[in-house]
Amino acid sequence: MTDRNVEELLFHMPVVFHRARNIWVRNFASSVLKQSRRKTWRASPKQVAMMRQLVSELFIEAGDVDGVEDITLRDEVIDDG
């Protein structure tokens, strides 16, 4: 994973921290943010995978603003005739 990709994941970690419903997630986000300040720090593959998952979940939650899964609307949009 490139440094830019890790930086993009780190950019979202404060939001992950503040929206966390789980103490482990809050601690993970806080820990990664603190570690990332060190010049020699490199995210481990496990850290990157967890950050990727948490950021993905963040966007999934943010995308469902109306409480209706968007995928179910697709059938209504398609016109068979």
How confident is the model over 4-46, as pLDDT tens digits? 899 999 999 999 999 998 999 999 999 999 999 999 999 999 9
- Sole residue written with tokens 């939001």: 15
Please, where are the H alpha helices in the chain? 3-19, 23-36, 45-63, 74-77
pLDDT surpassing 60 at residue 67: no
- Determine phi and psi for 52, rounding to 5 degrees: -60, -45
Q: What is the distance between the alpha carbons of residues 7 and 72, in angstroms, rounded to a whole number?
A: 34
Q: What is the distance between the alpha carbons of residues 50 and 27, in angstroms, rounded to a whole number?
A: 13
What's the pTM value of the predicted model, to 2 decimals?
Answer: 0.71
